[in-house]
Structures are given as structure tokens and as C-alpha cells.
Amino acid sequence: MIRVAVTGAGVVSPLAVGVAAFADALAGGRSAIGPARSQLQGHGLELAARVGEFGARAQIAAANLRRMPRLTQMTVVAAKQALAEAALPYDSARSGIIGATALGTMDETLGFTKSYVDGGPAGASPALFPVSVMNAVAGQLALECSLRGVNSTVNHRDHSSLSAIGLACDMLELGRADALVVAAFDELSAPVEHGWAKLGGTSARGCRPYDAARDGIVPGEGAAVIVLEREEDARKRGARVRAILTARGEAAEHRPRVGWGHDAKWPEAARAVAEAVRERGADRVSWIAGGGNGSSLDGRELDALAAGLGRRAPLSSILGQTGEYLSSAMLRVVAALIALERQALPGTVGLERHDGEWDADLVRAPRAARVDGVLVPSFAQGGADLALMVERA
């Protein structure tokens, strides 16, 4: 894998809008988790982390705003933050988008499907169809931001974000683009919230990553965007380089399609971690931006990290502050950029008592630290495993 520079980042999250505000909120230990929609309380979903006002009207022309679902609006606002920072000089035909989503625009998809079922072809909504498909957000983002190059969408459940980053790195290495906007997005639409309520596995007490008394996830939503270029190109043009993506490891193994299962070991997940750190060395990992979400994933993740890394490294999860949405690994990548820039680690909100089963260096409260490299793992439902190394520029 060539060295790929991150030259821009943007965030629309329940915790904050904008990278600087998001960084301050992480450092302050604030949580965005609150009550779910009132009609779902007592019916399977008590808590959620929802995005509030995010400034769409100030960023998107009114005529375009009317045609955009809320999920697209969130993504466009985050992407414009990232593109403003990157200040790309390339021809728009050499700049493109890789989208990443688990569920897409579910409200619009359901609305279009219902209009077709109820009224047949004549009753199908022509306004809803273009925004009901999985790649709708990436398409609208390309139009709004005048990006005419590569345009793809990765739909790989909770593996989507890091898969999209991997695809973007490959595209840059192959010379298919000079810059790529990698945008990860999912929302708490009504169908998604009702799905969580029916599926179960959510907590009524709060997200408690790695805690001995953890009892489930808290669903969240948001959009996180990074801009990627070949490091050589970014250096030549004098761009501000936030961080370098230096290596990744990928593997796959059998796991349930829903949930993470109860197997004691995930050997392929450990192999993905080992591959990610093979070239640069495990000692380069100053922090692990973990995916702990208060579910059975937490213990399996700790096993895989210990086996693959071969050493203890500081580990924390931001999901106790942001909630869990299935493309939220990109939010953890942004947290890695922040840790490298501020030389500080976020804590793990909700972690009160670790049961001692795993020998892990868990970061409970934010703290200053020397941060040279961050490992971002993604161990997905269904069995896809990927780990990414993000290093100081």
C-alpha cells in the first residue's frame, strides 16, 4: 500500500458538527446519548444518539436542499468542511467520491417501495426513486461539490467505512484519481429505529464499552468525511497533511450475519491486525481507536487485538459518546486524526469497572500522550475484518 495523505476532514455527529468542535467534545467527555423517540420507549429502544441542527441551510442552496434527504444533507455539510480544508487543485475529473453506508436512505426507500406497492407503476413516486437507491448520497454529493471522477458506494454493513478507505487507497495507487472524498454516513430514520427496537440487543442504561456490566449498544447516526491524496502529491502542493495512512490488513471468517457471536477466538481478526502492523511494527501503535460498543463484540475485539498486536497498547472507544451506527468506523478514523494532532487520547465514557478477564490498557478518562500511530480496527457482523494504521504526518 502506498502512503496516502489525509488532507481534509469533516464531521456531522450527535456530539458536534465540525472536527474542532468534535475534538473538544471528545476531550470534555461529553455524551450525546439521550432518550429515543417517545413511541419506542418501552417497546425495545430506550436510548439513541441523534444529530441536532447541523447548518444545512447555510451550506446548501435552497433549491438543492429541497431535493436532498436529511442523510444527504448531513453528508454534504461534512464533505464541504473536508473539501474546504483540503483546497484541492486538481481537475474535477480527477477528483471523486467513495461512499460508505450500511443502510442508506431508509425513509426514502420505504416511501418509494410503499408508493409502488400501493399504486403500481403509476403510483410510484418519481421524486423518491432517485434518492432511494444505496448510491444516491454519493451521486448527489458529486453534483453538489462538482466532483466528476470516480464515484462508487461501498455497502458492507459495519465494515463499510474501512472498506471504502481501502478502495480509495487502491484507486490512488492505480492512478485512477488524484484525490478522493471518502464519505461514511448512516442515519436514525424511523425504519432503522424500529428495526433496532425489534432486533433487540440495545441498552436502556447507556453504551458502556468494555465495562463488566455492559448490556447492549445505543444506536447513533452521522456523517464523517476525509479527503485522501497520494502523499507525494500533497507534499508537492504544500497541503496541510493531517495524517498518513500507511498500512492495512484484511481477513474474513465465519460469524453470524446479525451480532458478533460467542466464539472465544477470532483468528482471522487477529491476522488482520498483525498484517496492519507488520511493516511498521507493533511498537508504532500508540493508541487503538477501538470499536467497543457495549455488546459481545467488546470481548472478542480485545482477544483479537491481543493476539494480533502481541503487546498492550492504550485502547479506548468513543462510542459511549456518539452511539453506534454501522458506518461509524470513519468517526473513529477522525478521532485518530485528532489524537495525532493534539497528542492526547479520548477516554471511554461508560467504562466504570473492567472485569479483568482481558489484560488491556483501557483509557478511562482523556489524557495527554505521545501519539505516533493509531490502529483503527473494524470487526464486522458476518465476519469481515480490517485494521488500518494511521500515522503522524
Last-in-domain residue among 207, 236, 265? 236
Q: Strand 179-186 relative to strand 222-230: parallel, antiparallel, unpaired?
A: antiparallel
What residues are paired with 327 via a beta bridge?
Answer: none
Contacts of 342 (CB under 8 A, 6+ apart): 23, 27
Same structural domain, 273 and 134: no
C-alpha 123 chain-centroid distance: 36
Q: What is the pLDDT of residue 116?
A: 64
Answer whether 112's CB lies under 8 Å from 132's CB.
yes
Q: How many CB atoms lie within 10 A of CB 224?
A: 33
Q: What is the pLDDT of residue 257?
A: 67
Same structural domain, 314 and 230: no
Angle at which helices 297-309 and 267-278 cross, to 10°: 50
Answer whether 24's CB lies under 8 Å from 181's CB.
no
Same structural domain, 190 and 281: no
Q: How many CB atoms lie within 10 A of CB 341?
A: 16
Class of residue 251 by CB neighbours under 10 A (exposed 0-12, middle 13-18, buried 19+) = buried
Residue 233 Cα distances to 62, 147, 256, 308, angstroms: 36, 18, 42, 33
Q: What is the pLDDT of residue 377?
A: 96
Q: What is the pLDDT of residue 200?
A: 83
Same structural domain, 227 and 297: no
Q: What is the pLDDT of residue 132?
A: 73
Q: What is the pLDDT of residue 244?
A: 98
Same structural domain, 31 and 80: yes
Give a yes or no: residue 218 inside a domain. yes
Domain count, the chain: 2
384-392: strand order across its sheet: 151-154, 95-100, 179-186, 222-230, 4-12, 243-252, 384-392, 373-379, 287-289, 314-316, 361-362
Same structural domain, 230 and 269: no
Same structural domain, 336 and 190: no
Average pLDDT across each block of 10 residues of the chain; the chain has 393 residues. List them in order: 96 98 97 89 89 96 92 97 97 96 79 72 72 86 96 89 97 98 94 84 94 94 98 97 97 74 76 94 97 90 92 96 92 98 98 80 96 95 89 96
- DSSP of 103-157, one letter per residue? S--HHHHHHHHHHHHHHHHHHS-TTTHHHHSTTHHHHHHHHHHT--S-EEEE--G
Give a yes or no: residue 68 inside a domain. yes
**What is the Cα–Cα distance from 107 to 95, expressed in whole angstroms?**
30
Give a yes or no: residue 242 inside a domain. no
**What is the Cα–Cα distance from 74 to 350, expressed in whole angstroms?**
27
Q: What is the pLDDT of residue 18?
A: 98
Give a yes or no: residue 127 inside a domain. yes
Which CATH number covers residue 295? 3.40.47.10
Same structural domain, 320 and 187: no
Residue 39 Cα distances to 46, 189, 194, 196, 207, angstroms: 10, 14, 10, 13, 21
Same structural domain, 185 and 329: no
Phi-psi group of 48: left, alpha or beta (phi > 0 → left; psi -120 to 50 → alpha; rest → beta): beta
Angle at 260 between CA 12 and CA 35, to 5 degrees: 45
Q: Which of 251, 326, 246 is nearest to 293 (CA)?
A: 326
Same structural domain, 155 and 265: no
Q: What is the pTM of this model?
A: 0.95
Same structural domain, 51 and 24: yes
Last-in-domain residue among 189, 212, 236? 236
Structural domain harbouring 258: 247-392
323, three cell numbers: 452511539
Task: Count Cβ neighbours within 10 Å for each residue of 71-104 and write b for 16 or more, e otherwise.
Answer: bbbbbbbbbbbbbebbebebeeebbbbbbbbbbb
Last-in-domain residue among 201, 236, 271? 236
Give a yes or no: residue 330 inside a domain. yes
205, three cell numbers: 442504561
